[in-house]
Amino acid sequence: YTKLEYKKDDLPLPFINHEYIYGFKIFLQTHHNCKNNGAVNLLKALRNFILYSMRNDWIEKNPMRDIKMKEEVTEVRAHLTKAELEGIIAKEMPNERLERVRDVFIFCCLTGLAFTDADHLSKAHIVRDDEGNVWIHKPRQKTSIMSVIPLLPYARQILEKYSIDAECAENGKLLPICSNQRMNSYLKEIATICNINKLLTTHCARHTFACVAIEYGMPIETIAKILGHTKVQMTRHYARLSDGAILRDMVKLNERMQLNDGITLKKAQ
């Protein structure tokens, strides 16, 4: 941007003013076709350096104080419904390759684990409490924040299935995970086999867990703890309320208010 607009390789830091920052924002959205949120993320990174410069007295004023950096609310990524999830589980895969990919994907759907966390899952992360419940206690690879996940029965079955797998034992893993790119490629095949008209990816599994969990009434704070989020606001990007969940909550509200369905309004004169 500096080379194109100012014909220079570099500029003195005090020269960075509102005009420069605003021009940079337009440059991101035009020359590089950045959407609003993409440009905002880059500007936030620049703002961090500007604030660091102010703390060190390299500049006196903040040239970004009047720059608007509001992220737009985007649609939640594709996720599976409970029926679609059950369909994939029940469907017989044509070969072992797709069966193993299906199992890993379902495991992530039932635990909320990201692909890299499932890939690094080891026996050290599996904990059994005094009542016999099995848990995953694992810091996220991305943030090191601890995820605390009680395992559902079917997720435990998947771990047991591959506990004697030779390939998993050789690689020191609990699940037969290939590369993320190959997983996503094979998931497209699985979607076709199961007649699911959605883009299945490893990250779709994480969204599926959040959306199904909130569909069945799990508090958003609990979902955040399982996903390893420090802020509930971040979890809201993953979990989307369905019409069924909204209707369920409205029925509960009506029951608690105890309104009489037999009451009718008089017709307007």
pLDDT score, position 239: 64
Reported residue count of the chain is 269
What is the rounded average pLDDT of the residues 21-25?
90
Rounded Cα gap, residues 190 and 118, in angstroms: 19
Confidence of residue 52 (pLDDT cuts 50, 70, 90): very high
Residue 193: the pLDDT is 95
- In this prediction, residue 217 carries a pLDDT of 81
206-251: per-residue pLDDT in tens?
A: 889 988 888 888 888 888 888 888 887 777 777 665 666 666 667 7
Alpha helices in 61-171 (DSSP H): 82-90, 96-111, 115-119, 153-161, 166-171
- Tens of pLDDT, residue by residue over 89-115, are 999 999 999 999 999 999 999 999 999
Residue 118's nearest CA partner among 155, 153, 79 is 155
DSSP character at residue 124: G
| Residue with token string 């802020």 | 231
The percentage of residues in the chain with a pLDDT greater than 90, rounded to a whole number, is: 43
Q: What is the pLDDT of residue 123?
A: 92
Distance CA 91, CA 74 (A): 32
Residue recorded with tokens 């009451």 = 263
pLDDT at site 78: 79
At residue 219, the pLDDT reads: 85
- 147 sits in which H/E element: strand 146-150
pLDDT value, residue 242: 60
pLDDT for the residue 115: 92
Record the tokens describing residue 217, joined without a space.
Answer: 């009434």
Per DSSP bridges, beta strands 146-150 and 126-128 are unpaired
CATH no. for 82-248? 1.10.443.10
Residue 269 confidence (pLDDT): 57
**What tokens were used for 44?**
């936030």
Of 133, 112, 109, 124, the residue nearest 174 (C-alpha): 124
Ranges of each domain in the chain: 2-55, 82-248
Q: Counting beta carbons within 10 angstroms of the beta carbon of residue 155, is it exposed (0 to 12), middle (13 to 18) or buried (19 or more)?
A: buried
DSSP bridge partners of 108? none
- Comparing C-alpha atoms, which of 142, 148, 156 is closest to residue 224? 148
| Residue position matching structure tokens 């699911």 | 196
Contact criterion met (CB below 8 Å) for 149 and 136: yes
- pTM of the shown model: 0.69
Distance CA 82, CA 10 (A): 55
Amino acid 176: pLDDT: 94
Supply the DSSP string of 105-122, one letter for each residue: HHHHHHH---HHHHHT--
Greater confidence (165 vs 258) lies with: 165
Per-residue model confidence (pLDDT) at position 214? 84
